[in-house]
A and B are shown apart, each in its own frame.
Chain A
Amino acid sequence: MASITVDENMQGGVGFSRQRLAGILVFVAVVMTILQYTGLLPSVLHRLPESAIPPFATWLDAMFNFVKDDLGLLALTRFLTEGLQWILDVTANLLFGKRRWPNIGPIPWTAIAAVAGVIGYYLGGWRLALLGAGTFIWTALIGQWKIAMETMSVLVVAAPLAFVIGLGAGILAWKYSAFNRAIKPILSVLQTLPFFTYLLPAVIFFKVGPTAGAVATTIYAIPPMVLMTTLGLQKVSPEVVEAGHMSGCTRWQLLRHVYLPSARTEILVGVNQVIMLCLAMVVLTAFIGMPGLGAKLLAMMGSFKLGRSFEIGVTIVLLAVMLDRLSKAWVVKQPEHFERGTPWWKRHATSLIALGAFVFFCILAQFVEVAAEIGRKQNFSQGKEIDTAIKTFLAFDPVQNTTNAMRYVLNVWILNPFRDFLLSIPTSAFILLVIAFALWLGGKRPAIYAAIFFSLVALSGWWDRSVITLYSVISAVSLALLIGVPIGILAARSDTWSRRVLLACDTAQTFPSFIYLIPAIMLFGITATSVVMSILIFAMVPLTRYTIEGLRTVPVEMTEAADMAGATRMQKLWKVQLPLALPTMAVGFNQAIMFAFFMVIIAAFIGTQDLGQELQRTLAGTDLGKNFVLGLCVALMALTFDLTIMKWASDKKAALGLDD
């Protein structure tokens, strides 16, 4: 079973196997590199001369200006801004009392916490009730209510907006294959584009502040919604559809009453992803002036308050975990029937209790000030204490010695030589190596994409920075493989540990990424090690998660067959479980690379010489063209890996006869 190869379904063709061809490409690349070292390689092949680099940025700028001014897009978006601003003002008034219509806010924190508790109870019993209410109570007590609500006020606008647009686009993509074909590559690029690239156009077109933040957040969250909607609609059982036809549905009735409700699960999974992405992005929009948790976090980091930063991070994680768990509970929540004759108030008990609690606390807040707002002096922030704890930990000698040793070994012996080596490879040879990799793993199509994408990167004129970006990604993902996969394998052996490790993964993933940076710097200085370490945490999460998932979803019959064949634990792992889990693990590997590309951009905060640093620099200006070129370089490199690895995984899955 495990030894099935995928060779047959590849082009055998002209006598070259895929592997042979890849081998030849590698050989050519090695020869070229050696020629370069001996000084015999024409310099054009080593690095593209400046003169050969087309001014993409200028062209893009001209295009943007044309669209913006001549086509009047700016006028349109500024018009839309007004509408969006109005909605944001309403939520801002309700949630944190911004002085705008309807001027009735802010809603007391106790009322919101109570409603969250009731919803949690309805969706998942006491545990979720506790999570729902607890998150808001924590936020209030720690003294972050207002900033958290600033964030929420944008989230509650951006998430529904992304949902509606994503749903609409998903329906169109499902209905019209032409639209689907047109939108697929756009979605792929959107999903790999660094978030910095969303931010600048948002500011230019939608005004600095919450509106731009909401727009960037919305766009960032749309792709998964589109994909999940299309997937869900495609999966609706044909019989249900036929039943709809036979019931005499018109097209609209069919969509509204048959398709959408039947695709509920996938659509709700999409909603869950929308919420999570919105939350991740809403924090990052602090870079373009969105107030809220992200902005506070940046300010706290800017004044070296580790404890307070950490507390904000905890709030964000709690919010994320709460929204995630509640929306996931909503996904699996199935309708329950009420006996006939159940009175009206019993059918709507949850809504009534929620409403009752809401009104009660709103009234209470009029008389008891603490129920309405918790001021600075009443909160329980332990910022200073945490600061001290962190500093004491860092000053601890064994910690210092360990990190210093690691820093030395990694930097001086591994990372820097590796980087210099990658930089020393001629551009043309580098591209050949990437093509060989794509060909060997994914086949002809990925190889062609790899060729086009990396050639474009070379043409962009940002080759060295792109290579440095890639180097950070490769280093971090390699380390993550060494650590994350064994953890996954160990955890997968027991239910309890799987659950615990998966929970840790969730937490690590939702913890705002730039909090990792400060400890990384304090431990490893402003060096490549810090960069790699901060990416590492992020990249390990999907590897561990998918290793566990892959191993645990190996069909029981197969492990039982292995047991009956007298396999030892190790044999079972190596001969049965790992080969079968491999396609799933490849998906995790792919995600690890995507996450690494995401994080490497943020790691520019530590101090790097890669694309992220240049991208960050463009944020301060109005350099839209350059911003896009840089963003696309990242996206193209990420896409190359994405296409190749996903192709491999799906080939492998098909060969093993596993379904998605």
Chain B
Amino acid sequence: MTTDTVISCRNVWKLFGADPAGYLAKKPEGHSYEDIRADGYIAGVKDVSIEVSRGEMLVIMGLSGSGKSTLVRCFSRLHEITGGTIEVEGQDIMSLSEQQLIDLRRNKMGMVFQSFGLLPHRTVLENVAFPLEMRGQDKHTRRERALEVVKLVGLEGREEYFPRELSGGQQQRVGIARSLAIEPDIWFLDEPFSALDPLIRREMQDEFLRLQAMLGKTIVFITHDFDEALRLADRIAIMKDGAVEQCDTPDKIVLNPATEYVRKFTEEIDKARVVHAGVLARDGITGEGTPVDASASIQELAKLLVQDTRAAIPVHRDGKLVGALDREEALNVLVGAE
């Protein structure tokens, strides 16, 4: 593994049932989800291998019951896995003692929950300071730090409120602030915006992107909303019945869905907004004239693509030529033709 891999999991299984370990020993790899279910077990996570690199935002997308929440809980060992290995920063987390695990969580991990998971009897400030309190920091420093994070998430002036006195969006800001209080390296977000109204959700996503631009954490983000996944992700892992169907960048998933299941998600998507020039750039051909930026989406290039007459347009990334895109192909993406 390269040093840049933060989380690495190999052949991870999480089975629910009477004797999961015993069942796994019988090598059910070839069995389908339904087969396993017929045997009396639920495959929460089924033979998943995935890696998360430093500073990357991996979005795990799936419908409810697909195992995405279970998988993320395996990363932090909120669930004990049945088989396989999970390494966090090169350390096998299943081998950690209780104290080591607590230390890991106290210093390296933060998590945000769908229904916020706030402690109802504590004020905003006390909730945010909670992980610091658990790790035994003195009252003064934890207060200072908590105030800082509360400000970061834009809840200044609400420090003394109790959770039930806040709106859903505000409560989730508290959840985010709490998860950031210890300055974690790895940040887990379990459907953080699902419980919010659509308008607030959009606003929170922007807020989240702003924070991430500032902080640059390694992030595992869970969602059931494909749009949200496309909007935020560096890479998306699509899960179904406990297994990962496809794990790739949004562009590639949209352009080349690996399975029928994934394709169904991509059908309704306006690909032009997702696909970037960089993805379409080919090494083999060299265009002429003014280049376009690799990070520009096809939609942003729409006017140019329609008006231009070149067959191939050069693509730059950070001022360097990375190839050229086939205008015909790009136009196809724009009009949604396969």
Is the pair A247, B160 in contact by a Cβ cutoff of 8 Å? no
**Once the chains are docked, how many angstroms separate the CA of A337 from the CA of B123?**
8
Which B residues lie within 8 Å of A250 (CB)? 102, 134
**B49-106 CB contacts (< 8 Å) to partner A:** 73, 76, 78, 102-103, 105-106
Q: Does B44 contact A (CB under 8 A)?
A: no
Say yes or no: is A253 at the interface (Cβ < 8 Å to chain B).
yes
Residues of A within 8 A of B78 (CB): 242, 245-246
> B186 to chain A: closest CB distance in Å?
11
Binary flags per residue of A225-269, CB closer than 8 Å to B gives 1, else 0: 000000000000101101101111110010001100110100000
Whether A248 pairs with B178 at a CB distance below 8 angstroms is no
Binds A, one of B113-121, B220-228, B266-274, B321-329: B113-121
Given A239-B115, A246-B105, A334-B159 contact (CB < 8 Å): no
- Nearest residue (CB) in B for A249 is B134
A249, A253, A262, A339: the one contacting B120 at CB < 8 Å is A262
Measured CB to CB, the closest approach of chain B to A134, in angstroms, equals 31
- Are A246 and B102 in touch, CB under 8 angstroms? no
With an 8 Å Cβ cutoff, the count of chain B residues facing the other chain is 39
Known pairs A237-B115, A248-B102; A336 contacts B73 (CB<8 A): no
Assembled-state Cα–Cα distance A246/B76 (Å): 8
Stretch in B31-39, B161-169, B240-248 touching the partner:
B161-169
Residues in A whose Cβ lies below 8 Å from that of B178? 243, 247
How many whole Å from A69's CB to the nearest CB in chain B? 46
- The CA of A334 and the CA of B78, in the complex, are separated in Å by 30
Residues of B within 8 Å of A245, CB to CB, are: 76, 78, 105
A39 on interface, CB distance cutoff 8 Å: no
Could you tell me the distance in whole angstroms from the C-beta of A177 to the nearest C-beta in chain B? 15
Q: Does B151 contact A (CB under 8 A)?
A: no
CA gap between A340 and B161 in the complex, in Å:
10
Evaluate contact between B113 and A243: CB separation under 8 angstroms: yes
Q: Are B103 and A242 in contact (CB under 8 A)?
A: no
- A335 and B121 CA atoms in complex are apart in Å by 7
Residues of chain A within 8 A of B164, CB atoms compared: 334
Bound-complex Cα distance A264 to B111 (A): 24
Interface residue from A248, A261, A337 paired with B160 (Cβ < 8 Å): A337
Q: Is the CB of A253 within 8 A of B119?
A: no
Nearest CB in chain A: distance from B270 CB, A: 34
Contact partners of B134 in chain A: CB under 8 A: 247-250, 253, 257
Within the complex, the shortest CB–CB distance from A369 to chain B, in Å, comes to 45
- B257 at interface (Cβ–Cβ under 8 A)? no
> Which of B110, B160, B175 is in CB contact (< 8 Å) with A339?
B160
Contact: B117 with A237, CB < 8 Å?
yes
Cβ of A338 under 8 Å from chain B:
yes
A383 to chain B, nearest CB (A): 48
The smallest C-beta distance from A656 to any residue of chain B, in angstroms, reads 26
Residues of A in contact (CB 8 Å), total: 24
**Interchain nearest-CB distance for B104 vs A (Å):** 8
Report whether A239 and B131 are in contact in the complex, using a CB–CB cutoff of 8 Å: no
Chain A CB within 10 Å, residue with most, of B106, B109, B110, B134: B134
Question: Would you give the 0/1 interface string for A631-651, flagging 1 where the beta carbon is closer than 8 Å to chain B?
Answer: 000000000000000000000
**Interfacial chain A residues near B179, Cβ < 8 Å:** 246
State the Cβ distance, A321 to closest chain B Cβ, in Å: 28
**Cβ-based interface call for B13 (8 A):** no
B263: which A residues are within 8 A, CB to CB? none
**Contacts A248-B134, A334-B162 given; does A243 touch B118 at CB 8 Å:** yes
Do the beta carbons of A261 and B119 come within 8 Å of each other? Answer: yes
Residue-wise interface mask of A (370-402) relative to B, using a CB-CB cutoff of 8 A (1 in contact, 0 not): 000000000000000000000000000000000
Mask, B171-183, CB within 8 Å of A = 1, is 0000100110010
In whole angstroms, what is the CA distance A258 to B173 when docked?
20
- CB pair B135 A248 closer than 8 Å: yes
Question: Is residue B193 contacting chain A, with contact meaning CB distance below 8 A?
Answer: no
Contact at A240–B102, with CB atoms within 8 Å? no
Q: Which of B115, B162, B175 contacts A335 (CB 8 A)?
A: B162
Chain A interface residues toward B at CB < 8 A: 237, 239-240, 242-243, 245-250, 253, 257-258, 261-262, 264, 334-340
Q: List 25 A-B contacts (CB under 8 A).
A: A237-B115, A239-B114, A240-B117, A242-B73, A243-B117, A243-B118, A245-B76, A247-B105, A247-B178, A248-B107, A248-B131, A248-B135, A249-B134, A250-B102, A250-B134, A257-B119, A262-B119, A262-B120, A262-B121, A264-B121, A335-B121, A336-B165, A337-B123, A340-B159, A340-B160
Further contacts, 15 of them, CB under 8 A, given A245-B76, A246-B78: A240-B117, A240-B119, A242-B73, A242-B111, A246-B109, A247-B105, A247-B134, A248-B135, A250-B102, A253-B134, A261-B121, A262-B120, A264-B120, A336-B162, A340-B157
